[in-house]
Amino acid sequence: MQLGLLVVVFFLSSMDLTGSSKVVKGKRQRRISTELSQGCARGCDLCSEFNGCLRCSPKLFILLERNDIRQIGICLPSCPLGYFGLRNTDMNKCIKCKIENCESCFSRNFCTKCKEGLYLHKGRCYVTCPEGYSAANGTMECSSPAQCEMSEWGPWGPCSKKRKLCGFKKGNEDRTRRILQAPSGDVSLCPATTEVRRCTVQKSQCPEGKRKKKEEQGKQDNTNGNRNRKDTKDAKSGTKKRKSKQRGAVVPATSASPTQ
C-alpha cells in the first residue's frame, strides 16, 4: 500500500516539474521578443541595442549611420542632404550620392545641388560652367545657349572658292544670322552666326581667263601675221633681186670674121 502511494506521488511531482519548465520557457521567449523591440524609436518596427533600427515603418526611409565599427539604423520621413531615397517593397532606404562635390542628388549619378561655390550642369558639378554656357539669373546652374536670341538664317550665298565664283567645280557656300540679344551682353556665349557647307557647280571659265586667252591668241595671231608678212616680203625681195640680176647680165659679142 505504501509503495503504491509513493508511485502516485512521484508521478504527480514529475508532471508538475514538466509544466513548470514549459511555463519558464514561454516566459523566457516572451522576454527575449520584448527585449528585441522594446525601446525602439518612433517609426521603427524592429530594432536592436547594438545596431539601432533594423526595419522602419512603411513610408519611412532607413538611414544607416556608421559609428566606429557599427552601423546604426534610424528612420526618417525623407533622406538628408547627400542621399537620395530608394523605395522598395521590402523597405525604403537612403542611398549615398556617388557624385563628386554633390550636396543633394536625385539618383546615384544625377546631382540636383552642388556644394557651395560650384556650378551645376546636367547633373554634374563644375568649378566654372562649360564653354558656351553661363549661370542663369544669378543661380549656380549653368544655362543653355538657347537663351541667346538669334535672327533667322539668311539665304545661302553663291558657291565660291578662294573668293572666286568661277574656275572651279567644288567649293563652299555660306549663310549668316545675327545676334539679337545675348545674356549679360556677352556675345561669346551665343552660338555661331555663320554656317558653311560644300557645294558643286558646273565648271566655268573666269572672264579674266577668257580675256587673257583672247589676248594670248591675238598675240599669237600677230606673231604669225608678222612672220607671214616677213616671209612674203622676203619672197618679193628675192624675186626683185633675181630680175635685177637677169637685166644686168651682158651677152658676150661674137667677133666678125675678116673680109677677104
CA-based radius of gyration for the chain: 56
Residues 6+ apart with CB under 8 A from 219: none
Q: pLDDT digit string (tens) for 78-118?
A: 998 888 888 888 889 998 888 889 988 988 889 999 999 99
CB burial class (10 A; 0-12, 13-18, 19+) of residue 199?
A: middle
Q: Please tell me the distance from the alpha carbon of residue 170 to that of residue 202, in angstroms, as a whole number.
A: 9
Q: Please tell me the distance from the alpha carbon of residue 219 to that of residue 168, in angstroms, as a whole number.
A: 27
Q: How far is CA 134 from CA 101, 138, 184, 210, 224, in A?
A: 19, 10, 9, 55, 74
User: CATH number, domain at 52?
Assistant: 2.10.220.10
On whether both 174 and 215 belong to a single domain, the answer is yes
Grid coordinates given for 92: 525604403
Q: Please tell me the distance from the alpha carbon of residue 246 to that of residue 250, in angstroms, as a whole number.
A: 9
User: CATH number, domain at 213?
Assistant: 2.20.100.10
Q: pLDDT digit string (tens) for 27-65?
A: 444 343 344 556 788 889 898 888 889 999 888 999 988
Flag whether 43 is in a domain.
yes
Instruction: Give me the domain span that covers residue 122.
Output: 107-143
CA angle 124/141/182 to nearest 5° reads 125
Q: How far apart are the first and last CA of the chain?
A: 234
Task: Report the number of distinct structural domains present in the chain.
Answer: 3
On whether both 155 and 199 belong to a single domain, the answer is yes
Give the chain's mean pLDDT: 75
Flag whether 11 is in a domain.
no
Flag whether 257 is in a domain.
no
Q: pTM of the full predicted structure?
A: 0.40
On whether both 113 and 173 belong to a single domain, the answer is no
